[in-house]
Amino acid sequence: MFMTVSTSEKQVTKPERSVIIETQNLSKHFEGLKAVDEVNFKINAGELVGIIGPNGAGKTTLFNLMTGFLKPTLGRIILDNKKNIAGSSPHKIANLGITRTFQLVRPFKLLNALENTTVPHIPKSKLARSSTLKNKATWSLITVDLAEKKNYPAFILPHGDLKRLDFARAMAVQPRVLLLDEPFAGLSVEESFRVERVIREANEKGMTIIIVEHKLKILMRLVERVLVLHQGQLIGEGTPKEIANNPEVITAYLGTEAFDFE
Ligand SMILES: Nc1ncnc2c1ncn2[C@@H]1O[C@H](COP(=O)(O)OP(=O)(O)OP(=O)(O)O)[C@@H](O)[C@H]1O
Ligand SMILES: [Mg+2]
């Protein structure tokens, strides 16, 4: 079955998509703080979704829950409409095809770019033992435009390269779902265009991508749908245009003036 999907640029016809990941009442409390508070959303396979919200809204905590770095206080994370992965280890979740980048990049400084990409976050997996991992890592470095620096130790790479290296590490296992935590932070305009292209290409090949980002101009032109978190709660959901004109979102995050994302 097919449906028509409108984007800011053109009308395209895409196959109707199934839900790949869903949160149900997902919550994380730190002492009395509800960092993530009964969050419910569904992400379709192949979707490119943005998550926005002010500092401390719970965005990174949400990614930590979805990738097993934190166990939820309550709630479920359902993969493929059947498996609850909440509380599983990061390795197990990566093996199921969900990987992420980090807001603060922390490469192994003495290892080179290729080693940083192959040093697996899934050491017990078949993939890590496989001789094809190096090929996948090399492909991943090519994809993020870092192939020519594959032998450079991480400590000599500038911030923009390290952000793309983290991206390459997360992509090396060819995940089904990729979570990017502020992929554009600290990048120059030119580097941002490069990362934007990499994200678009990965998504065009079918990868489901969820991006947390404060750089809204880039995010709003890149994603097809936006979720808004505020004080741990989902306060808005819609197309970039709908979100930019949502009064509650404007008050909570975008400021009182109409947000111009064109
Ligand atoms: N391990 C932790 N222990 C206690 N509190 C935490 C912990 N991790 C996050 N928090 C708190 O949870 C809230 C949400 O933090 P989180 O890092 O998820 O926000 P964020 O939306 O990613 O913000 P930013 O845009 O600044 O990255 C904040 O108040 C933060 O201080
Ligand atoms: Mg964060």
Helices (H) and strands (E) in the chain, counts: 10, 12
Per-residue tokens: 72: 């939820």
Nearest CA to ligand 1 atom 30: 56
Query: Residue 167 is which amino acid?
Result: F
pLDDT of residue 10: 47
> What band does 43 get if pLDDT is binned at 50, 70 and 90?
very high
pLDDT of residue 246: 87
At the top level of CATH, which class does the domain 2-10+17-254 belong to? alpha beta
Q: Is the pLDDT of residue 50 over 50?
A: yes
Which bound ligand lies closest to the C-alpha atom of 229?
1
DSSP state of 41: E
Query: Residue 82 is which amino acid?
Result: K
Q: Which atom of ligand 1 is nearest to the CA of 31?
A: 4
Nearest CA to ligand 1 atom 31: 56
Judge whether 157 and 149 are in contact, CB under 8 Å: yes
**Distance separating alpha carbons of residues 115 and 105, to the nearest angstrom:** 15
Per-residue tokens: 227: 């979720």
**Distance separating alpha carbons of residues 37 and 212, to the nearest angstrom:** 17
pLDDT of residue 22: 98
**Distance separating alpha carbons of residues 7 and 77, to the nearest angstrom:** 28
pLDDT of residue 258: 42
**pLDDT tens sequence across 90-139:** 989 998 999 999 999 989 999 999 989 987 544 555 545 566 777 888 99
pLDDT of residue 240: 94
Crossing angle (nearest 10°) for helices 189-204 and 159-171: 10
Nearest CA to ligand 1 atom 28: 56
Q: Is the pLDDT of residue 2 over 90?
A: no
CA dihedral (50, 55, 58, 62) in degrees, to 10, reads 40
Ligand 1: residue of 33, 180, 182 to mutate (most ligand atoms within 8 A of CB) is 33
Which bound ligand lies closest to the C-alpha atom of 73?
1
Q: Which of 170, 183, 181 lies closest to 117 in space, CA to CA?
A: 170
Q: Is the pLDDT of residue 185 over 80?
A: yes
**pLDDT tens sequence across 186-213:** 999 999 999 999 999 999 999 999 999 9
In whole numbers, what is the pLDDT of the chain averaged over residues?
88
Helix H or strand E segment including 248 = helix 247-249
